[in-house]
Each structure stands twice: as structure tokens, then as C-alpha cells.
Structure 1
Amino acid sequence: MAKLTVKGIEAKREPGMYGDGDGLYLRIGPTGAKSWILRTVVHGRRRELGLGPAPLVPLAEARELARQYRKIARQGGDPDTKRRQESLTFAKAAAKLHAQLLPTWKNRKHAETWLASIEAYANPHFGNRPLHTITSADILRALEPIWTAKPETAKRVRQRISAVFDWARGAGQYSEANPVDGLTKALPVVKASGDHMAALPWGDLPAFWAQLGARDAIAARCLEFLILTAARSGEARGARWAEIDLEARVWNVPAERMKRGIAHRVPLCEPALSVLKTVRGLDADFVFPSVQRSKSNEARPMSDMVFKGLFKRMGREGFTTHGFRSTFRDWASESAHADREVAEAALAHATGNAVERAYARSDLFERRRALMDAWGRYATGEAGQVVEMVRA
């Protein structure tokens, strides 16, 4: 078979397949469009791979592409897969991973910040580059400016970049080692600041409770319920009457509303039951409905900013809503002297390693009830200055 020439390619007009040898062909379509085709065998089957339009891919480049793809096929690989890998940019891979993870996330804000952090700190450096061209040095240059200035953000970005490469490898879009693994010793060790959600000292809670009780707002009642149950903000604000068993004095929070994705039973102390009685009848569904209804005039839970406004109206600052969980935890350790596993179970925290958790099937509910009853008495001032020892 005679080899094609540049002048010969320009001169050809008749539709058909014109061979150059070693499986490379110039295809001329019915409209006169010219393109390159490689015929080769991949995994025992004959395949045709398009190499691009002839006006954009010169003869020499088409021959080199054909040579590379034939070599990949001889070594047992798939040239088409290799080509897709080379065309997949980091930004596109990150978007694909984000789309797959999106249905698994319950927190909308987390879903938004996940992709936003990639777009802010990774994409400007290598977002438009194919994955196989990105090295550990590229990722290092992206992380260095924020590694000490924004350590928590930087660590999250590193983890997310690593997840993109792991996903691409698992999806067959990337065949090399994860370049993030090469940064283990390249970045300095940054000690954690130790900052936590600011919390009200447990000794100040009874006085705060008295001030809170003077407020008539539904937000105040929701905060009381949150404190008495040691719940997270979203769990309390989203509480539904269908989850409450007043007779059994239990709040059954379903798995889909819990951070760990595991259903949680909350024992209700007498003060918590009293709070529920005061809000009974406000809505048939939500326990603490927002004063603002949906466009279809349906009740909805209060926003996550409602407590911040409440604190401002009360003239209180220096602590957060989430910090009341720490207030409870400190009281449980320092005042009630409760066993660690009971206090952690009250917060719906996992304790022990995976093996220990596999054998610890009990949620320590009755022991938690004793602890939460004591907490209710303390928070509302009923316990006075008496220190209750909760070891049940």
C-alpha cells in the first residue's frame, strides 16, 4: 500500500477510505469532509478509532497518534479509554464527583462549600488541565498559600482534591498514583488551634434559663427544648409531632435527620415535656414552626439564624447555640460525674473503635434517662446548689 502524501491528501476528492499503512486511513465522506481513522484490534475485537479531522490533524501527527494507540492496544490496553483519560480535566472530574456525592449529603451548605472550595483553591491552578498532567508539585503550589493561613480550609481542600483523583481512578478515567499522596512530608505540620464552639459555662446555665423563660418567642421555647435534650440546632428546629411519644416520654429522631445517619432516641425530662405542652397546637406537623410560612402557606421549620437573633434581643453574646451541647457535656463530667459512654450517647456520639461499637448494641437509654432528668432539674434551677451524682 502506497503511503499518503500531504499533496495527495489535498488532491483527493472522491468519497472513500484511503490507506496509509499500519491501519491508518483517510476517510472522505459524502460531503467531502476528510478525517483520520485507525483500524486496530483491541482486546481481540476489531475497532475503528477516529483521530480527528484532516484539516486540523496533519499527516505526521495522525501517524504518531496511530503509532501510540497501536502500542497501547498491543500492550493490552484500550486506546479509547486512554484518550478519554487525557481529555478529562480536573475541573470536569470534580464536577462529576460532586454530582455523584450530592444525593448522599443532607447538609446543603456542605454540598455548596465542597464545590466552592475546589473552584476557589484548586481550579485556578490546574482546573483546566487533564488529570494525568497534574503532579504533586502542582497541588503543593495550590495549597501552600493557605496551608498556614487557613489550615482547616487547606486540609479540607487537600482531602477533596485527593477524592477527585481516587474517584477518577475507580471510574477508569485515571491510571496513575494519586499525586496528593506525595505531599505527606512536603507540607509543614500545623497544630490545631483547639478552638471549639463557644459555650456558656455550665455554672451560668440556671441564670440564663431564667432569662430565657421571660421570652415569649417560639425561638425561646425551641432553645429550651434544645438545651434540655442536648440536641443539635437542626434536629430541634426540625422536630415533628410524629416523632414525639408523650406517653413514653421519648423523642424518636429518624436517621435521616441525624448527623451520623443513625436513628436516635431522646428521653424527655419533665421540663422538656412542659415546653412541648406550651407549643402544642401551633402546628399539626412541626413542633416549633417558623412564623414565616411557605409560598403554599404550609408550615416550615425556623431558619438556622433564629437563635442568633434571640441572643441579640436578650443582650447575650460570647457563646453559640451548638455550644450548649458542650455546656451539657461539661456538666455531665464535672457535676453529675456521669460515665463517659452515657454522656456521649446522650449527644449521639460514637464511642470506642469499630469492634467495640459492633458489640455495644445498647443505646444506654434508661441510664441516659436518669442523666437527662438530672440535667433538666439542674438547667431549670430545681436542683439548687446540690450536686447530683448520676452513675445509673
Structure 2
Amino acid sequence: MQKVEPGTITILTDAKIRAITKSEKGQVQVRDKSVPGLRIRVGSSSARAFVLRKTVAGRYRNITLRRYCERFGLAEARKKARQLISDIEFSADPAATLPSPVRRRVVPTVRSLWPSYRAARSHLRTIREVERVFERHILPSFGDRAAHKITRGEITRFLDEIARTTPVVARNVHGYLSAFHSWALPRLDDLPGNPCRANSQKRGE
């Protein structure tokens, strides 16, 4: 299978979708020639999701349809995209046809996800240390940020600042923040990958 270049437009097939390579620089997208606006998005973790880009009420919207998986493949994505396009174009109130998460999305922040993550880790012997690191370091810096918008660069600067005085603490914070993003990855469609993975775990040495 010939390599599929990011940003191109082609008649998508399952083989082409699997052939799209991830980029360390962020998300890449390949547009489908069969359905206008439909594209496959590949994050830095290689997770794939179908997205429909469509003008709604004078504004471009990127509507995430669903992750690419065995139960939701190319045929299902095209069917859903065509139905959504029809609903938007023939509705007197196009914005009302958007999925509710697009119309009024409650953006998950690190702070809003923290209780669920803490509950999922409550069985660990290190839970008290996890709580201490989150409450002292992670929540004050990233608590009100949308979890899927935190970048590798931000995390690198955050950890570098801690490492200037306490390298061991920086390594611990890195580990707990990375574990949090790994937990969040399958729960957030917009999270392209774990932004901690590119940061050295030997920080401060």
C-alpha cells in the first residue's frame, strides 16, 4: 500500500486509513473525496477518528463523528456524514441539527476529570502521593485547562520549572501526569495523544 500523505484528498479505503502515518508534530488529516467535508484524523498516538468539516450558520465546524474502529468503519462514517450534511442543509435552523456536544459542549477540564481519575486509582498504594501531587502541582497549573488542549511544550516548561529546584519531584509529577493522560485518552475523542510521552522521564539528570 502506497503511503498516504497527510493533508491530501483521496477516495478513502480501510487500507488507506491504516496506512496513514502519525506525526510527532500533532494531528494529521486526510480528506475523503467521496463525501465532501469528511476526513480521517490521526493523532500522535495513532488513534484515528472521523471528522466532518461543514459550514453551519456561516461558521466552519469540525464535528467529530466517532473513533475509527471495528464497529464504526468507513461505511458507517460516510452514512452518518451524509445524513448530517442533509440535516444541516435542509433545516431552517442548521445549528439545531448539530449533535448536542457540538452545540453546547461541556469541555472536560483536568479538574472536572480529577474526581473520576482519583476514584479509578483509589486502590493503589500510592493514591495519597497521587493526591498530593495533583493538589500541589498539577491542579494549580492545569486544573482549569481543557484536558485535550494541553501541549507538549507547556508540559515541558512546567516540568523544567519544577526541576530547577527539585528534579526528583519533577520526575514524579511527570509520571503521574502521564498516567492521567493515558487514562483520559480513550475517554476523550479530542485528545490526540499523551502529551507527556515526548518528555524525558530522566528529567534533571
Scaled by the length of structure 2, the TM-score of the pair is 0.48
Which one has a larger percent strand, Structure 1 or Structure 2?
A: 2
Q: Which has the larger radius of gyration?
A: 1
Answer 1 or 2: which has greater helix percent.
1
Give the TM-score, by structure 1 length.
0.27
